[in-house]
Amino acid sequence: MPTKLTDNVLSWATDLDEKTREQAERSASLPFIPGPIALMPDAHYGYGATVGSVIPTKGAVVPSAVGVDIGCGMIAARLDLVAGDLPDDLQPLHGSIARAVPAGVGKGHWDVVDDDMPDLPVTAQRGEAWWTDKLARKAREQFGSLGSGNHFVEICLDEADRVWIVLHSGSRGVGNQLANIHIDGAKDIMKQRAIELPDRDLAYLSEGTAEFDAYIADMLWSQRYAMGNRQRMLTLVHECVERFLGRTVAIVDEINCHHNFTELETHRIDGVDTEVWLTRKGAIRARVGDRGVIPGSMGAQSFIVSGRGAEASYQSCSHGAGRRMSRTAARKRLDVDTLRAEMRGKAWNQRDAKRLIDEDPRAYKDIGEVMAAQADLVTIEHTLHQILNYKGT
């Protein structure tokens, strides 16, 4: 159940530092927010707005609250396999996935397959000067690629030892480019109009303007790109599993969900049904029956959930465990030997352990505590534990 931090901030987080709380309060002070901001159990300090926050706005949107990885999210698919169908050593499968799915900053496919990629965004179609042939090519090359940071591909087992593919990624370099164009544009508008903000990164776009319409169109395109990107990678990983086992393997269940987006929704605020732009930054939609994927960190459990439709959280829940340490702090404070011990018995990027230290489970909140804190927001359908983890560096 939530804690009321201020009149305009509700929090489900049991592990919330002062810096993050202050950031949420700054966001909540914007004049076009008609109801409280909801902080999810994984809430932590972010760029512009708090990661793990749900923000209702009326007549405006804040591009940095959606973030620079528009449409980032999760896809999970249960295969017609159980643990006994897999060999003990999955490192060769890890290598196959690494060859099929490019990962890392700026990485993409040499052999471009973009049949399922959405048409270029309206910004490109308008002939904006920044949209070059080079960037259009990047969008095609990176379609079906992972990226870096906390993005990953996993093979997991559930409570009945059934096999799942779980994958986390977003709109890659092109989504980042689109986001930053609109974030910078919003900042320019604030400067031109001498609008003072509690944080310059909370620059906003007003509904009814050309800039607002362009952002919404490009954001929706980035969501489609991100969802298609995950779907394409799922296909590539599924094919790797089939080649590895030498037989056809069916997908019997699948969930694909965003956790960085804004959408026009109606919610009950102060007893009145109110239409708002609802921004979920590091949060997934959890209406009654909505299914979602909530991952832990490397080596930790992940969860397949269904929403409970809690109106206090605007029908939302967490998107993961949430960081406890910044990447810089993790690199300074954590050691490779403990990371290797945490990942013992799993197939993973063992040679990259030093470069993955900022993804060490100790840099994240306890996923068990996060799930317990949102028992009123979601119902757990399946509990997964990873047996293979592939990341970009």
DSSP 1-47: --EEEETTEEE--SS--HHHHHHHHHHHTSTT--S-EEEEEEEE--S
**110-114, 342-346, 364-368: the lowest-pLDDT one:** 110-114
User: What value, to the nearest 5°, has the Cα angle with vertex 237 and ends 235 and 241?
Assistant: 115
Q: What are phi and psi of 188, to 5 degrees?
A: -60, -40
User: 261 pairs with which residues across the strands?
Assistant: 280
SS3 percent helix, strand, coil of the chain, rounded to 5, is 35, 30, 35
What 102-106 contacts at long range (C-beta under 8 Å, 24+ apart), as own/partner pairs, is 102/142, 102/144, 102/145, 102/146, 102/392, 103/145, 103/146, 103/147, 103/148, 103/151, 103/153, 103/390, 103/391, 103/392, 103/393, 104/146, 104/147, 104/148, 104/392, 104/393, 105/147, 105/148, 105/392, 106/173
Per-residue pLDDT at 136: 79
- Of 215 and 127, which is predicted with more confidence? 215
Q: 112 CB contacts (<8 Å, ≥6 apart)? A: 140, 141, 143
For residues 199 and 274, give the distance between their C-alpha atoms in angstroms, rounded to a whole number: 26
The predicted model gives 327-351 an average pLDDT of: 93
- Model confidence band, residue 362 (pLDDT cutoffs 50, 70, 90): very high
Per-residue pLDDT at 123: 60
Summarised one tens digit per residue, pLDDT across range 299-317 is 899 999 999 999 999 999 9
Q: What are phi and psi of 275, to 5 degrees?
A: -85, 125
Domain assignment of residue 301, given as a range: 3-391
**Total structural domains in the chain?**
1
Per-residue pLDDT at 122: 59
For residues 63 and 49, give the distance between their C-alpha atoms in angstroms, rounded to a whole number: 10
User: 303 pairs with which residues across the strands?
Assistant: 294, 383
Q: Which amino acid is at 289?
A: G
User: What value, to the nearest 5°, has the Cα angle with vertex 249 and ends 346 and 299?
Assistant: 20
The predicted model gives 38-62 an average pLDDT of: 96
Q: What are phi and psi of 107, to 5 degrees?
A: -80, 150
Is 26's pLDDT higher than 90?
yes
Per-residue pLDDT at 355: 92
Is 259 a catalytic site residue? Answer: no
Cβ 200 vs Cβ 27: under 8 Å: no
Q: 393 CB contacts (<8 Å, ≥6 apart)? A: 103, 104, 148, 349, 352, 355, 356
The per-residue pLDDT of the chain, averaged, comes to 93
- The DSSP call for residue 323 is B
- Model confidence band, residue 124 (pLDDT cutoffs 50, 70, 90): low
For residues 65 and 43, give the distance between their C-alpha atoms in angstroms, rounded to a whole number: 13
- Of 145 and 138, which is predicted with more confidence? 145
- Model confidence band, residue 149 (pLDDT cutoffs 50, 70, 90): confident
User: 157 pairs with which residues across the strands?
Assistant: 163, 385
Pairing of strands 251-258, 205-206: unpaired
- Model confidence band, residue 117 (pLDDT cutoffs 50, 70, 90): confident
Name the token pair of 89.
């050593």
Is 131's pLDDT higher than 70?
no
Pairing of strands 316-318, 283-285: antiparallel
Summarised one tens digit per residue, pLDDT across range 71-81 is 999 999 999 99
Could you give the C-alpha distances from 387 to 108, 165, 169, 253, 322, in angstroms and in order?
25, 10, 19, 19, 21
The predicted model gives 282-290 an average pLDDT of: 96
| Cα first-last separation, the chain | 37
For residues 49 and 260, give the distance between their C-alpha atoms in angstroms, rounded to a whole number: 12
The predicted model gives 159-173 an average pLDDT of: 96
- Model confidence band, residue 265 (pLDDT cutoffs 50, 70, 90): very high
Per-residue pLDDT at 273: 96
Sign, CA torsion 53/142/114/122:
positive
Summarised one tens digit per residue, pLDDT across range 179-193 is 999 999 999 999 999
Judge residue 293's burial from the number of C-beta atoms within 10 Å of its C-beta, 0-12 exposed, 13-18 middle, 19 or more buried. Answer: buried
CATH number at residue 82: 3.90.1860.10
- Considering 259, 319, 382, 385, which one is annotated as catalytic? 319
